[in-house]
């Protein structure tokens, strides 16, 4: 592969429609538009309608800020899964249409794989132990012998989902995990259930107890306690995995990896255990198109691709279900 390869990636697994452009591993643009539900979780149909509505404009913004014309794009990629069926379909259909129109190859990308690979790139850490924390996912992973292995994961809901549900129960109009740190400031610890099973985690008991505690304690105390408890659970499972695998570095990625308290805890853990710690800038921890373009280019150079018409979405696709 020469330096001709410009890859355009489309993200649409959940609330964000993103279009990013990458050239030989360098991000040229990363334009996104996020659907923000009020007083409810993500309604699949509404997310899909949002993505279809903004796609043209986000595409144009991405091409303009990269200084690239559609004809110069050599490869199209899209997030195949895991994600919500109907918003995923919008990204896939748009990517297929562009690939056919431009007569260029298309490749589907697993969403967590993209988060992990861009975090590896920016951290410079090779063969890390990975903490992937987002709305729908909470996993501890390693890459080994051409596959990803999930060493531990949530047995029920993702940690981001826990935060969003809790904030909605607290009657905040636009409930999102990014609000937690502001609300928790100056909070005092209230005991909440802590559930780690080896390297696996369970958050539903914690969710129920935290929502119940809202009626008995100030919001800032419960929020502070929820964050401390849930992050400590992740750190315990992660540290156990670190001792088992003896990896020399840790990376974090996914939407919840933006949390400053989590970064602080990971930094302390890494210092105490004598390993490296890093990740990507926050714009790549949020859902975004650039990481899909980055991972699309990586996979294409590694294994090529199949005909455009054979690519479809896989809403339940697990990262450990395919060779890489
Ligand atoms: Mg994500």
Distance CA 317, CA 106 (A): 18
Q: How many helices (H) and strands (E) does the chain have?
A: 10, 12
Q: Compute the distance from residue 112 Cα to the ligand 1 centre, in Å.
A: 7
Would you state the structure tokens that stand for residue 75, as one six-digit string?
A: 């490869």
Ligand 1 midpoint to CA 324 (Å):
19
Listed residue (133, 161, 169) closest to 261, CA to CA: 133
pLDDT at 37: 86
CA 167 – ligand 1 centroid, Å: 19
Q: What is the pLDDT of residue 285?
A: 97
Q: What is the DSSP string of 20-31?
A: EEEETTEEEEEE
pLDDT at residue 1 in the model = 44
Neighbouring-strand partners of residue 29: 21
pLDDT at 4: 64
Residues 6+ apart with CB under 8 A from 320: 141, 147, 148, 149, 150
How many whole angstroms from 13 Cα to the centroid of ligand 1? 8
Q: Is the dihedral of CA 27, 33, 39, 43 positive or negative?
A: negative
pLDDT for the residue 40: 83
Q: Model's pTM, two decimal places?
A: 0.96
User: Mind listing the pLDDT tens digit of every residue in the chain (324 residues)?
Assistant: 445 689 999 999 999 999 999 999 999 999 999 999 887 889 999 999 999 999 999 999 999 999 999 999 999 999 999 999 999 999 999 999 999 999 999 999 999 999 999 999 999 999 999 999 999 999 999 999 999 999 999 999 999 999 999 999 998 867 778 889 999 999 999 999 999 999 999 999 999 999 999 999 999 999 999 999 999 999 999 999 999 999 999 999 999 999 999 999 999 999 999 999 999 999 999 999 999 999 999 999 999 999 999 999 999 999 999 998
How far is residue 175's CA from residue 180's CA, in Å, rounded to a whole number? 9
| Distance of CA 3 from the midpoint of ligand 1 (Å) | 29
**In this structure, what DSSP letter does residue 260 have?**
H
How many angstroms is it from 287 CA to the middle of ligand 1?
Answer: 5
Which residue from 286, 285, 297 is spatially nearest to 77, judged by alpha carbons? 297
Expressed in angstroms and rounded, the spacing between residue 140 Cα and the centre of ligand 1 is 15
Residues 6+ apart with CB under 8 A from 5: 23, 24, 74, 75, 297, 300, 301
According to the model, what pLDDT value does residue 261 have?
Answer: 96
Distance 135 CA to ligand 1 centre (A): 7
Coil vs helix vs strand at 248: coil
Strands 129-133 and 249-253, bridge-based pairing: parallel
**Can you tell me the distance from the alpha carbon of 141 to that of 171, in angstroms, rounded to the nearest whole number?**
35
The domains of the chain, with CATH numbers, are 6-114+285-321 (3.30.420.40), 129-246 (3.30.420.40)
| Residue 176 Cα to ligand 1 middle (Å) | 14
């Amino acid at each position: 592969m020469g330096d001709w390869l410009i890859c355009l990636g489309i993200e649409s697994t959940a609330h964000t429609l993103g279009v990013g452009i990458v050239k030989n591993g360098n991000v040229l643009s990363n334009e996104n538009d996020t659907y923000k539900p009020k007083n409810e979780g993500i309604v699949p149909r509404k997310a899909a309608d949002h993505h279809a509505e903004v796609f043209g404009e986000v595409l144009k913004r991405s091409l303009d800020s990269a200084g690239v014309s559609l004809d110069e794009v050599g490869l199209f990629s899209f997030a195949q899964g895991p994600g919500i069926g109907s918003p995923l379909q919008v990204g896939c259909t748009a990517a297929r249409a562009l690939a056919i129109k431009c007569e260029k190859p298309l490749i589907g990308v697993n969403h967590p794989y993209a988060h992990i690979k861009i975090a590896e790139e920016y951290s410079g850490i090779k063969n890390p132990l990975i903490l992937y924390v987002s709305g729908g996912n909470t996993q501890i992973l390693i890459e080994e012998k051409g596959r990803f292995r999930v060493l531990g994961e949530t047995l029920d809901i993702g940690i981001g989902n826990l935060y969003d549900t809790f904030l909605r129960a607290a009657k905040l109009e636009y409930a999102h995990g990014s609000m937690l740190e502001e609300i928790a400031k100056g909070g005092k610890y209230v005991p909440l259930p802590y559930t780690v099973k080896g390297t696996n985690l369970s958050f539903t008991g914690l969710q129920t107890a935290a929502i119940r505690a809202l009626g008995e304690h100030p919001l800032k105390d419960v929020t502070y306690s929820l964050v401390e408890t849930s992050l400590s659970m992740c750190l315990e499972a992660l540290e156990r995995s670190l001792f088992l695998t003896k990896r020399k570095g840790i990376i974090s990625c996914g939407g919840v990896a933006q949390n400053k308290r989590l970064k602080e805890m990971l930094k302390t853990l890494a210092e105490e255990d004598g390993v490296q710690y890093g990740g990507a800038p926050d714009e790549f921890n949020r859902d975004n198109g650039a990481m899909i373009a980055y991972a699309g280019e990586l996979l294409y150079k590694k294994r090529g691709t199949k005909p455009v018409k054979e690519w479809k979405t896989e809403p339940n696709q697990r990262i450990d279900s395919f060779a890489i």
